[in-house]
């Protein structure tokens, strides 16, 4: 599988892995490979992100194209559509640097489109658990907002109170990267 893709450039690198642009040699299109280094015992956690993305087919959610393990290089890759745009976090920071506010149209589009993505998640009984500006991408060409990063997402049958899906406080601490975006009931549970 990995020989199907030619490296183009890195988008982000971190201790967890990398997010890079690749060319899909079979279609000549640009794709993104989200590579996560595999350490003992976390294979299930990685494949969870791909398993959930596979269920979601929506214009306002990043498209999943496939996933594979490469045990030689010790990483797991999720193949995603390439979103030609910026994160909402970058947009906000850019506007604040030039002392501007987002237009009303921009805010309405964001709210409307992200409501549609949440409706799709709700329909599939999926809780994203990490919705924040860094995980929403905006493509100005299509005026489209797309929800990304399903690394902490969970599927649950408990429709009345889906966040109770967390089995331990330890799970919840994973969210401490983004404490300002925790809902109050989760914050109190920490």
Ligand X SMILES: Nc1ncnc2c1ncn2[C@@H]1O[C@H](COP(=O)(O)OP(=O)(O)O)[C@@H](O)[C@H]1O
CB 137 within 8 A of CB 62: yes
| SS3 readout for 59-121 | CCECCEEEEEEECCCCEEEEEEECCCCEEHHHHHHHHHHCCCCCCHHHHHHHHHHHHHHHHHH
Query: Which residues of the shown chain bind ligand X in the complex (CB under 6 A)?
Result: 11-12, 14, 16, 19, 32, 34, 62, 80-83, 87, 134-135, 148-149, 151
36 binds, among Mg ion, ligand X, none (CB under 5 to 8 A by kind): none
The 10 Å Cβ neighbour count of residue 29 is: 12
For 93, residues 6+ apart whose C-beta sits below 8 A from its C-beta are: none
Query: Is 70 labeled as catalytic in the residue annotation?
Result: no
Which C-beta is closer to ligand X: that of 62 or that of 172? 62
Among 15-23, 34-42, 90-98, 131-139, the segment contacting Mg ion (CB under 5 A) = 131-139
The residue with its CB nearest to ligand X is 149
Q: Which one from 130, 149, 157, 165 is the annotated catalytic residue?
A: 130
Q: Does residue number 149 form part of the binding site for Mg ion (CB under 5 A)?
A: yes
Q: Least CB distance from residue 161 to ligand X, whole Å?
A: 26
The helix (H) or strand (E) run that includes residue 186 is helix 184-189
Q: Does residue number 77 form part of the binding site for Mg ion (CB under 5 A)?
A: no
The catalytic residue positions are 130
């Amino acid at each position: 599988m990995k020989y199907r893709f030619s490296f183009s450039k890195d988008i982000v690198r971190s201790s967890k892995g990398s997010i890079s642009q690749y060319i899909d040699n079979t279609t000549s299109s640009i794709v993104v490979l989200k590579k996560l280094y595999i350490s003992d015992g976390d294979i299930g956690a990685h494949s969870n992100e791909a398993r959930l993305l596979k269920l979601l087919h929506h214009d306002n959610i990043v498209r999943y194209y496939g996933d594979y393990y490469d045990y030689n290089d010790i990483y797991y890759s999720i193949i995603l559509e390439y979103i030609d745009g910026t994160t909402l976090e970058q947009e906000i920071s850019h506007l604040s640097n030039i002392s501007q506010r987002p237009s009303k149209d921009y805010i309405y589009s964001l709210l409307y489109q992200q409501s549609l993505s949440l409706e799709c998640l709700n329909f599939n009984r999926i809780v994203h658990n990490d919705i924040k500006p860094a995980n929403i991408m905006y493509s100005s060409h299509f005026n489209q907002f797309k929800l990304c990063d399903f690394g902490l997402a969970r599927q649950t049958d408990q429709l009345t109170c889906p966040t109770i899906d967390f089995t331990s406080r330890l799970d919840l601490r994973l969210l401490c990267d983004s404490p300002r975006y925790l809902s109050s009931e989760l914050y109190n549970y920490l």
